[in-house]
Structure 1
Amino acid sequence: MTKSARARRVTISLFAAAAAVALLVLLPGTVGTTWQLVGGSLTQVSLPELALLGVVWMAGLCSHSYVLAASLPGLTKRRGLTLNLSGSAVSNVLPLGGAVGTGLNFAMTRRWGFSAGAFAGFLAVTTLVNVLAKLGVVAVALALSPVLGSTAALPAGRTGLLLLPVLAVLGLVGWVLGRAPVAGRAGRGLDRVVGMFRSSSSLESSLPELRSAILGVVRRGWRPLSLGMLAYLFLQAALLWLCFQVVGASLGLPLLITGLAVERLLTLVPITPGGAGVVEVGTIAALVALGGDPPLVTAGLLLFRGFTYLLEIPVGGTTLAIWLVWNRRRPVAA
């Protein structure tokens, strides 16, 4: 990496971190509450309640490990959980850390003996399933918004505009997956683009191979992929509901569905590490717009993000450290 590129990355990292901190510091004022009121609600949560929340959180991660294992034939659920936690620890700390987390997961799977091609298929399938799941939650919330009275918090026009780039990419992916000749033509076009920056590229041949690998994984593992993701979303919704319950907020169906949809939607926008600040401000503002009590809504959502974002950093970091120590003296799998 050149000095200018390194300086640019540091600048972006500092800006993103500062933006996240500023958003969190200013959060109470933007929704009409204070940190004193929010803190008072959070201190009412008992240790048994925190333990229950921790169990639900971990159950959600375990259910998602089924998705990861199905996306990479031969990967165990335990290793899938290790990939999930270690990758999240990195991506939740570093701005645009998803790329770093992906690199880490690639190194781990290579250590376990999986090929680079297998990892490429794994990455494509998991990314596709995760994005489709988030869009599915948003679609359900949009469809039910007239019935739930949540149109003000999740306006179809603005939401559709935000989703437009994601939907465009998904449409392109669906087109490539649907027809083999399209994959070859797309790879040839990408080769021309990449050739402007690199001396050689072989996407014309590798993209059709990746397409075949993805379709093979989906055909063999569609059941655990689907059931694992549905279980994960259900447990995420249960965790959100419980977080509001333990701080004393009465979370009805409109708030539950809308809150989860907005939170899922905003995690698609990687402005800050793990969406920190952006997700909290946007989701809480939406819930308050639906009539939620500002201090209680803020406390409940922060508690939820404490598990789904903050706790993943030390737990994932510890998991990664254990993996590094465990594999330091072990031979690389063939």
Structure 2
Amino acid sequence: MSPRTRNLLFGALGLAVVVVTFAVVLPRIASYRDVWDAVKTLDGRWIGALAVAVVLNIATMAPPWMIALPGLRFRQALPFTQASTAFTYIAPGGGIVGMAGSYGLLRTWGFRSNEVARAVTLTGVWNQLANLLLPVLAVTLLSVEGARDALLTTAAVVGAAVFTVVVGALAVVLWRDSFARAVGDLASRIASRLLAIVRKGPATGWAESFVTFRRTTVDLIRRRWAWLTIAAIVGNVTVFAVLLVSLRAVGTDSAEVTGIEAFAAWSLARVLQLIPLTPGGVGPVELGLTSILVGFGGPNAEVVAAVLLYRALTVVPTLLLGLATMGAWRWLGPGRVREGVAPGAGNPPGG
């Protein structure tokens, strides 16, 4: 099967998932007329609360990149995060597409390749590790309430196992120069074999590049791991806040779905979003989130309304801002200040 055929089949499968989700499954859970009736109950107070939640969600995307890439200011980090996140919504591939887009955008602003690679790696790893640990935290909180969910428990076990493997592998690579050099040699040999297929020269210098990358990364982690962790936690909390406010805004109160139950459903939806079947996880996320919330006791129409509202408010603003940012990218250059040159360049955001 040719790559073109495979991509077409993959795209067709993703489209089928989206169509089935929105045209078949969700309408069976609640008719869109009932969903619209629930949305129409929003008053000015809840609309204001939703607006605040959306603004906080967008604003908290910037700090992790400011921490991981010294010299990147908030006024550049904010539009940059919108543009890089927008990549994940317009093409299948999820985080991989977003990471590639982030690398390309930052390189056009003049940041060195090793700095950008380090920032992309750290923000990506921290974000994915947070996603893997969310179901673990959710199951723990549910157990405190005396509730259980088999799907969430399974996701928590898998997430904990993957988390352990990823952290262990990262620790090994960053532990000593010899390990980083060995990984660099292996990557160089693999790349050279691939290049030979297209009659290109061998990949050289990768071993020492990995060693340099390891040293600078370890140094940054030692100085900023706490700030990076806090920023990742705050960023995830603001995303969840959009869902929780959406639930309460359409009339789903804590007697029907508690905050912990909403968090548990949301944590699984974050894991589903990692599956690169559709852009941004459109389809699987809505279906999984709706099913779990209804299973916890949420009213069908109100839950579907809240889920669709949540997804619209977390995707559409970023998509529009991201596309606008990409259109104006050449005029958004950072006027860059390097760490160690300008006062305060090495401080965490707000420092």
TM range (shorter): 0.7 to 0.9
Which residue of 1 is the match for residue 284 of structure 2?
278
Amino acid at match of 2:35: V
Aligned-pair CA distance for 1:136: 2.8
Please give the secondary structure, in 1, of the residue aligned with 2:275: coil
Quick one: distance in 1 between partners of 2:70 and 2:336? 19
Contact 1:258–1:287 under 8 Å retained in 2: no
What is residue 26 of structure 2 aligned with on the other side?
A: 28
SS in 1 for 2:149: coil
Name the CA distance, whole Å, in 1 between partners of 2:158 and 2:225. Answer: 30
Take 2:19 and 2:317, find their aligned partners in 1: how far apart are those partners? 17
Secondary structure of 1:143 counterpart: helix
Contact 2:71 2:337 in 1 (8 A): no
Q: Distance in 2 between matches of 1:298 and 1:186?
A: 47
Deviation at 1:92, TM superposition (A): 0.5
Q: In 2 relative to 1, CA 76–29 (structure 1 residues): closer, same or farther, beyond 3 Å?
A: same
Residue 236 of structure 2 is aligned to residue 239 of structure 1: no
Q: Secondary structure at the match of 1:197?
A: helix
Q: 2:16: which partner in 1? A: 18
Length-normalised TM-score, structure 1: 0.87
Aligned to 2:53: 56
CA distance in 1 between counterparts of 2:193 and 2:165 reads 24
Instruction: Kindly indicate whether residue 318 of structure 2 is the aligned counterpart of residue 312 of structure 1.
Output: yes
Which of these residues, 121, 125, 128, is aligned with residue 124 of structure 1?
Answer: 121
Counterpart for residue 176 of structure 1: 173
Amino acid at match of 1:282: G
> CA–CA distance in 2 between the matches of 1:209 and 1:24?
49
Superposed displacement of residue 230, structure 1: 2.4
- Take 2:6 and 2:336, find their aligned partners in 1: how far apart are those partners? 35
* 1:254 aligns to 2:260 (yes or no): yes
Q: Helix, strand or coil: the match of 1:132?
A: helix
Counterpart for residue 92 of structure 1: 89
Deviation of 1:100 after TM superposition, in Å, equals: 4.0
CA separation of 1:63/1:331 partners in 2, compared to 1, >3 Å: closer, same or farther?
closer
The residue type equivalent to 2:10 in the other structure is I
Q: Which amino acid aligns with 1:247?
A: V
Instruction: Structure 2 unaligned segments of length 5 or more: list them.
Output: 197-201, 339-351
Task: Give the direction of change, closer, same or farther, for the CA distance of 1:101–1:146 in structure 2 (3 Å limit).
Answer: closer
Q: CA deviation at 1:198?
A: 1.8
SS at match of 2:148: coil
Q: Could you report, residue by residue, the CA deviation over 1:256-307 in whole angstroms, capped at 9, with x for unpaired residues?
A: 2212211222122222100111111111111222222221111112111111
In the TM superposition, residue 103 of structure 1 has moved relative to its aligned partner by 3.6
1:291 match: 297
Q: Secondary structure at the match of 1:269?
A: coil
Identify if the C-alpha distance between structure 1 residues 192 and 178 changes in structure 2 by more than 3 Å, giving closer, same or farther.
same
C-alpha displacement of 1:89: 1.5
Whether the aligned pair in 2 keeps the contact of 1:113 and 1:333 (CA below 8 Å) is: no
**Mapping 1:150-189, distance limit 5 Å:** 150-152=147-149, 154-161=151-158, 164=161, 167-189=164-186
Q: Are 2:71 and 2:336, in contact at CA under 8 Å, matched by a contact in 1?
A: no
Task: Report Cα offsets for 1:145-169 as digits up to 9, x if no partner.
Answer: 3223442264423543467556534
SS in 1 for 2:75: helix
Aligned equivalent of 1:216: 219
Deviations 1:9-61 (A, max 9, x none): 3443343233223222223256x322222222122224553343122222122
Regions of 4+ moved over 6 Å: 330-334
| Preserved CA contact (<8 Å) 2:103 2:120 | no
Deviations 1:175-202 (A, max 9, x none): 2123332222222223333333124234
CA distance in 1, matches of 2:332, 2:206: 33
2:144 aligned with 1:147, yes or no?
yes
Question: Which residue identity does 1:83 align to in structure 2?
Answer: F
Q: 1:174 to 1:61 in 2, by over 3 A?
A: farther
Deviations along 1:172-230, whole A, 9 cap, x unmatched?
Answer: 22321233322222222233333331242343222222222222222232243122222
TM-score w.r.t. the length of structure 2 is 0.83
| Paired amino acid for 2:215 | S
2:36·2:305 contact (CA, 8 Å) conserved in 1? Answer: yes
User: One-letter code of the match for 2:120?
Assistant: L
TM superposition shift of 1:68: 0.8
Whether contact under 8 Å (2:244, 2:259) holds in the other structure is no
In the alignment of these two chains, the number of paired residues is 329
- Match for residue 226 of structure 1? 229
